[in-house]
Amino acid sequence: MIQAIQRRQAARQGEDKQGGFTLIELMVVVMIIAILVGIAIPAFLGARKRAQDTASKSNLRNGLGTAQTIFTDNQAYLATAAMVTALGQEEPSLTFQADTVASTSAKQISLATSGSTLDTIILASKSGSGKCFFLRHVATAGQATSGSYMGTTTTGACAADQSAWVSHWACL
């Protein structure tokens, strides 16, 4: 009989218990999630900026490749205005503009041609991260400065005529 009463009491206590989490357990879970989010967001934002910068550099290289095709056909780069038109026709996925017009996105490229034999071209593109990337190519062989050079700045307008803002050009 006593055992029967004890079984009934145990059964009642089991029915009265409500399952669930305590407040402390929930707070610990929320805190862990907050810490993980705090770690993930800066990493994501850094990756996004790097991707925007890479897109801008890639567009500059595509523009330079097209410009070099025009150089090969003419043995010189065209004057800036004619080069803007020719590049726009050859590479319609990018928007080319004269050297005094600042680039405001990675797909807009400001360009300038220079040199006594029109052997130098400077391209500028503004990344979504706010950096301005410049690509300078000197096509005349034998010069100490011939070749392709990449530079970047965060000051001044992102226009090809503002390439003087670049404090360091790195050879590609």
> What digits encode the pLDDT tens for the residues 67-107?
999 998 888 899 999 999 999 999 999 999 998 888 988 89
**Which of 99, 101, 102, 110 is closest to 59 using CA atoms?**
110
> What digits encode the pLDDT tens for the residues 35-66?
999 988 888 888 889 999 999 999 999 999 99
* pLDDT score of 92: 92
* Cα dihedral 149, 150, 156, 161 sign: positive
The pTM of the whole model exceeds 0.75: no
Q: For 12-26, what is the mean pLDDT?
A: 73
Give the β-pairing of 108-114 and 120-126: antiparallel
